[in-house]
Structure 1
Amino acid sequence: MSDNPWTDRIVGARMTVDQEFSSRIANSEFSSQQWSLIMTATEFEIEHPDDPDRARIVANTDKVEQIIPELDNIQTGMGAMGGQGGGQQTGSSGGGFLGSIKGALGLGSGSGDSHAEQQEAAERLAQEYADELQSHLESNGRWESVREAAADE
């Protein structure tokens, strides 16, 4: 169980949204393995839970920055195994073996720019997921009880 009882109430909803959101991930720059890591580093919060008109689920992505370098390792590892990610490689130096050689020789783009772009994309996608989750809860008549549980914390 988590430290947030309201999050415990939405486990089933998250599983449904995960399935519905999988096509969005497939069309993104992240593989499903990379997305799983991003979601592990993302915490969901309800802003303004006491105000029904302003309350909304937000993705707290403060920890995502810490896992961004690992996203490249996942992509490189998948390329080495002959696997393919759900989306495109985000670094302009290319992916797989050739990309890692270019990076080692300093011929690829700076990882700082690539990492900043990955972080922005991860944060944007995590918030899209949060919006989808809230929409799902609203359409199933569960949003108010979840919001109230968050307000009681």
Structure 2
Amino acid sequence: MSDNPWTDRIVGARMTVDQAFSARIADSEFSNQQWSLIMTATEFEIEHPDDPDRARIVANTDSVEQIIPELENMPTGMGAMGGQGAGKQGGSSSGGLFASIKGALGLDGGDDDDHADKLQAAERLTQEYADELQSHLESEGRWESVRKSVAADT
């Protein structure tokens, strides 16, 4: 189980939101495998749990930056379903061996921008997920009890 007892209480809601959110992931730049890794590195928290008007679920993505290099080793987008991946995967014809070696050594210059772009995309998507999760809990009439339990624990 997790360090957050409130997240353990909403496992069923998370599964429901996961299924509904799968279409959003399919339209994103991330494969399902990449999204799973992003979600593993993301923790969900409730900000201002003692204030019903300001309380909201937020995605804490502090650890996501550490897994960005691993995301780039996984197939992306539709290419993840079989065949070659998109982007830098699969050895495109531009650049060849020399470009591959430079890239592996971090000398191609584009990695920092690519890392930052992937991190921003992951942060946006995880917060969209957090918003969907809160909306689902509200529609199920469970948000107040979850919020109150977090407020009582703080």
* 8 Å CA contact 1:44, 1:57 repeated in 2: yes
Instruction: Return the letter of the residue paired with 2:101.
Output: A
Gaps of 5+ in 2: none
> Matched residues in 1 for 2:109 and 2:7: separation?
40
> Matched residues in 2 for 1:149 and 1:121: separation?
31
Instruction: State TM-score, norm by structure 2.
Output: 0.85
Partner of residue 18, structure 1: 18
* 8 Å CA contact 2:47, 2:55 repeated in 1: yes
> Matched residues in 1 for 2:65 and 2:127: separation?
15
Structure 1 residue 97 displacement after superposition? 2.0
The percent of aligned pairs where both chains have the same amino acid is 75
- Render the CA deviation track for 1:36-83: whole Å, top value 9, x for unaligned: 00000000000000000000000000000000000011128x969944
1:30-69 mapped onto 2 (5 Å cutoff): 30-69=30-69
* 8 Å CA contact 2:58, 2:130 repeated in 1: yes
SS at match of 2:73: helix
SS at match of 1:97: coil
* 8 Å CA contact 1:79, 1:95 repeated in 2: no
Alpha-carbon spacing, 1:109–1:22, altered in 2? closer, same or farther (3 Å): farther
> Matched residues in 2 for 1:81 and 1:133: separation?
27
Q: How many residues align?
A: 146
* 8 Å CA contact 1:42, 1:60 repeated in 2: yes
- Render the CA deviation track for 1:120-151: whole Å, top value 9, x for unaligned: 00000000000000000000000000001111
Runs of 4+ off more than 3 Å:
78-85, 99-103, 105-109
CA RMSD of aligned residues (A): 2.5
Structure of larger gyration radius: 2
SS at match of 1:152: helix
* 8 Å CA contact 1:5, 1:149 repeated in 2: no
Instruction: Return the letter of the residue paired with 1:35.
Output: W
